[in-house]
Amino acid sequence: MLSLLKADLKRRHNKPGNVFLGLVHRLDRPVGGVMVFAKTSKAASRLSEQMRAGHLGKRYLARVRGCPDPREGELEHFLLKDSTTNTVRVVEEGASGAKRALLRYRVVESDADSNIVEIDLLTGRPHQIRVQFAAIGCPLVGDRKYGASSGEETDLALWSHEVRFNHPTRDEQLAFSAPPPWV
């Protein structure tokens, strides 16, 4: 995505040489939706600081198997990443290398075998949403890494639905959203 956007900026603005483009909000490979890029290093720095300070709002939609109980609430876990297997697992608080993961959720739509959950991500850990919902017995549809049935032949049902932040140079709140293809 980064290479495609750099090429587009170079072409559209007729820029010679390399084009700067900073990736501020990334997504796991199988996740779709809104991403945030910065066209200048100053903007990238300011947006990254908003992200570190927890001022960049990230809302996701996910289709999960089963129904979280309660239908609205917070999930807090401590997660540990295994870089050799590129997996994350829930561990006890205080485990060496574990990081706190926090999100808010609410069920927004239900059908016979799954529920659509709206998620406000309060921390941004690798595979956080996928691992936390699997830990409560509600794996994401299509998530073969964290609990979907092996016969399930569908893409991961996780979508970066909305991102909110302050413009890096103007006093202006910005919000960008995109609906997932499965809603």
Give the structural domain span for 110.
55-177
* CATH value at residue 137: 3.30.2350.10
- Residue 183 included in any domain: no
Cβ atoms of 21 and 39 within 8 Å: the answer is yes
User: What pLDDT digit, counting tens, does each position of 57-100 carry?
Assistant: 999 999 999 999 999 999 999 999 999 999 999 999 999 999 99
- Residue 170 included in any domain: yes
Q: Which residues are catalytic?
A: 28
Is the whole-model pTM more than 0.85? Answer: yes
Q: Which residues contact 25 (CB under 8 A, 6 or more apart)?
A: 34, 35, 36, 51, 56, 58, 160, 163
- Residue 5 included in any domain: no
User: What pLDDT digit, counting tens, does each position of 129-168 carry?
Assistant: 999 999 999 999 999 899 867 666 688 999 999 999 999 9
Say what the pLDDT of residue 160 is.
96
| DSSP string over 131-170 | HHHHHTT-PBTT-TTTT--TT--S---EEEEEEEEE-SSS
Identity of residue 15: K
In sequence order, what E strands does 8-68 have? 22-25, 32-33, 36-38, 57-65
- Residue 161 included in any domain: yes
